[in-house]
A = this chain, B = another copy of it.
């Protein structure tokens, strides 16, 4: 039932795919399902790369796609990425090579300053996130193939995940499922390392959120995580329970892009990252809304942590 898709193998430049035989199942690796890991990358972190290499999903079933901005930071990231890619793709052991790697250089504008305080100012969010949406769409449209079963969106500053990230996320068999993105930091009071929530884009819609949206001008947007817009939306970041079951699921209405797994059919049906206000949402938050309009459910794993770089 879940056999792989090509009806005929490519022959004389003809490819033939039966989308009905293309499954996205909890048994992904066993069924040899192809996964595409997509990363918009303004900076290259060794920690990200090393974590990626440690993922245990078979590399022969894994494609990577990157889009690098046309900025000074992007130039540096591109050089480091190219070096790292060449090294892994020239591994003697074929099992250590990815099946395909695509690197795109962005053609649209990017924010010049990537410092956290600058990129997080509410005033720049609309432009910044709208550009990010364009970058994600370019990457998605040009890399997803007829044989792709799953798309994992993984930000370039996610530096620590369980090595079984792919298998763990697909095992939930959901159209979209997001992990909970935290950050390690040094707690100066307790004088020890600790963790704190980082990504506030995984949320459940609230009545206040809906009220704010219904009173907004057509082109205004809500970006979650800013006290200037008090939506009182339940944020998945706050649902983390260190003693809870790591497999606990919760339904979401908005997602972030840190580490989120998407069945390829959701994208193929048309779910993309709106760069314009879509129900007053853009980028990954707008993507979740669009997937819902396409009839898909969106979930998060509050107790399943991945960690963001600490600048």
Contacts of A16 in B (CB 8 A): 82, 102-103
Q: Is A280 an interface residue (CB 8 A)?
A: no
Expressed in whole angstroms, the minimum distance between the Cβ of A100 and any Cβ of chain B is 5
Q: Is A142 an interface residue (CB 8 A)?
A: yes
Question: Which one of A7, A138, A144 has the highest number of Cβ atoms from chain B below 10 Å of its Cβ?
Answer: A138
Q: A15-B102, A20-B105, A89-B14 are in contact. Are A269 and B97 (CB under 8 A)?
A: no
* Residue contact B15 to A107, C-beta cutoff 8 Å: no
Q: In the complex, which residue of chain B has the Cβ closest to the Cβ of A147?
A: B142
* Residue contact A17 to B267, C-beta cutoff 8 Å: no
Which single member of B14, B148, B294 contacts A276 (CB below 8 Å)?
Answer: B294
Q: A15-B101, A15-B102, A275-B270 are in contact. Are A146 and B137 (CB under 8 A)?
A: no
* Residue contact B268 to A270, C-beta cutoff 8 Å: no
Q: What per-residue 1/0 map shows which CB atoms of A78-100 lie under 8 Å from chain B?
A: 00001001100110000001111
> Which residues 166-218 of A have a CB within 8 angstroms of B?
none
Number of A interface residues in the complex (CB < 8 A): 52
Q: Please measure, in the bound complex, the distance between the C-alpha atom of A7 and the C-alpha atom of B82, giving whole angstroms.
A: 12
Q: Please measure, in the bound complex, the distance between the C-alpha atom of A133 and the C-alpha atom of B293, giving whole angstroms.
A: 13
Q: Is A145 an interface residue (CB 8 A)?
A: yes
Q: A294-B275, A294-B276 are in contact. Are A270 and B137 (CB under 8 A)?
A: yes
Q: Is A141 an interface residue (CB 8 A)?
A: yes
* Residue contact A141 to B14, C-beta cutoff 8 Å: no
* Residue contact B19 to A105, C-beta cutoff 8 Å: yes
Q: Is A222 an interface residue (CB 8 A)?
A: no
A interface, over-half SS: mixed
* Residue contact A269 to B138, C-beta cutoff 8 Å: yes
Q: What per-residue 1/0 map shows which CB atoms of A258-293 lie under 8 Å from chain B?
A: 000000010111101111100000000000000001
Contacts of A105 in B (CB 8 A): 7, 17-20
* Residue contact B269 to A137, C-beta cutoff 8 Å: yes
Expressed in whole angstroms, the minimum distance between the Cβ of A298 and any Cβ of chain B is 15
Q: What per-residue 1/0 map shows which CB atoms of A49-76 lie under 8 Å from chain B?
A: 0000000000000000000001000000
Q: Is A22 an interface residue (CB 8 A)?
A: yes
Expressed in whole angstroms, the minimum distance between the Cβ of A64 and any Cβ of chain B is 10
**8 pairs of residues in contact across A and B, judged by CB atoms under 8 Å:** A7-B105, A12-B90, A13-B89, A15-B101, A15-B103, A18-B105, A141-B268, A143-B146
8 cross-chain pairs, A with B, having the tightest CB-CB distances, nearest first: A19-B107, A137-B270, A142-B146, A12-B89, A18-B105, A276-B293, A270-B272, A20-B107
13 more CB-based (< 8 A) A-B contacts, given A20-B105, A137-B269: A14-B89, A14-B103, A15-B101, A16-B103, A17-B103, A17-B105, A19-B107, A104-B146, A141-B141, A142-B146, A142-B268, A143-B146, A276-B294
